[in-house]
Amino acid sequence: MDLAEFIPNTQEAHAIAAHLPIGLSVFGVILVVAALLLRTERDVLRWAACAAYLLLALTAYIAVRTGEDSRSEVAGTVPKAIWDIIDDHESMAEYVWMFGIGTAALMAASAITKGTPRKLMGIATVVAALAAAVWVGLTGHHGGTLVYQHGIGIPFDQAVEWRINPPETDRAAPELSEKEKAIREEDLITIFDIDPAEAEKISYLRDVAPLMVEVCVECHKEGDLDSEYDMTTAANIIKGGEKYGASVIPGKPDESTLIKYVRGALLPQMPEDEMPLLREEVHMLRLWIYAGAKDDSQSVDE
């Protein structure tokens, strides 16, 4: 047995730590309401609620710390738009501990006072507890968007797998037409052997994007979205269109439908009704896909 398997990595640790304040913020509301409605000996429920909110503050602190570590792990690998969501998520998360301490303080104040102050503090505690739950919920929502929509914090292989086979769709590849079945390898644009070192040097920003803009984007962009296929970002180029789903399988150029379309193995050959790509251009695209179809545009300037 390998013990290392049981030690969570930073991003797993953050996932675990982040769910604690979420649970506590919901549980806390119930506890606060119960504490105000039920009379208990020595205000046990009020002090329990107080403790729950101190615990919320502590777990929020741990979540922020593990989140900061995760943030440095993904730095430089995510597009600007996603970085903005991370920023929002982080700046909201930094306030969560204050909601915890504040709610705990109000609850304690209501436990040690009597009469009208006790009632007023009690009502203020409910308001604070609800505000904490909403704040934590919104913070968690941003975090969830990052993970479940954008695959941040999910191992690369699994993220690629998700993009190719999104969990909710399960689309079968269309049958080849008779014409497509009749195509022979020698009819296609010739391909060359791939040199991994050369593949690593291909840049989406410098090499791939300009070619796409020149020959593909005119038909594959918002407003003129042939086959529901947007080719204006690396992520969308990978994601593909309505017919085949993922057009690019990172690491596997010759299984990628994008390459099959430009070589003429799938019809109509792309770019449709225009001069086919040069062999060198097809080779460059294959190299890019071979090296993982990485997006080096818009990455953060550190």
- Residue 261 near ligand HEC by CB under 6 A: yes
| Cα–Cα dist 35/27, whole Å | 12
With binding defined as CB under 6 A, does residue 220 bind ligand HEC? yes
Q: Taking CB under 6 A as the rule, which mask of x and - marks residues 25-64 in contact with ligand HEC? A: ----------------------------------------
226/296 with CB nearer ligand HEC: 226
- Nearest CB to ligand HEC, comparing residues 122 and 240: 240
Comparing C-alpha atoms, which of 143, 128, 145 is closest to residue 56? Answer: 128
Q: Which two tokens stand for residue 63?
A: 């979540």
CB 95 to ligand HEC: min, Å: 44
- Token pair for residue 128? 């604070």
Q: Does 117 bind ligand HEC (CB under 6 A)?
A: no
- Classify the C-alpha dihedral 207-213-214-216 as positive or negative: positive
- Which region, judged by CB under 6 A, interacts with ligand HEC, from 92-100, 122-130, 153-161, 267-275? 267-275
- Single residue of 50, 129, 183, 270 touching ligand HEC by CB under 6 A: 270
169-202 burial string, b = 16+ CB within 10 Å, else e?
eeeeeeeeeeeeeebeeeebbeeeebeeeebeeb
Give dist(CA 129, CA 38) in Å, integer.
17
> How many amino acids of this chain bind ligand HEC (CB under 6 A)?
25
Stretch that binds ligand HEC, among 34-42, 83-91, 143-151, 263-271 (CB under 6 A): 263-271
Site for ligand HEC contains 207 (CB under 6 A): no
The two structure tokens encoding residue 37: 């409605």
Are residues 163 and 151 in contact, defined by beta-carbon separation less than 8 angstroms? yes
Backbone Cα Rg of the chain: 27
Closer to ligand HEC by Cβ: residue 33 or 189: 189
CB 147, CB 154: distance < 8 Å: yes
**Residue 231 CB neighbour total at 10 angstroms:** 25
| Interface with ligand HEC, residue 166, by CB under 6 A | no
Binding status of residue 243 toward ligand HEC by CB under 6 A: yes
Given 103, 139, 257, 269, the residue binding ligand HEC (CB under 6 A): 257
User: Token digits for 202?
Assistant: 């291909």
The CB-of-262 to ligand HEC minimum distance in angstroms stands at 5
Burial of 254 (0-12, 13-18, 19+ CB in 10 A): middle
Of 107 and 258, nearer to ligand HEC (C-beta) is: 258
Please tell me whether residue 262 binds ligand HEC under the rule CB under 6 A.
yes
List residues binding ligand HEC (CB under 6 A): 215-216, 218-220, 226-227, 229, 240-244, 247, 257-258, 261-262, 268, 270-274, 277
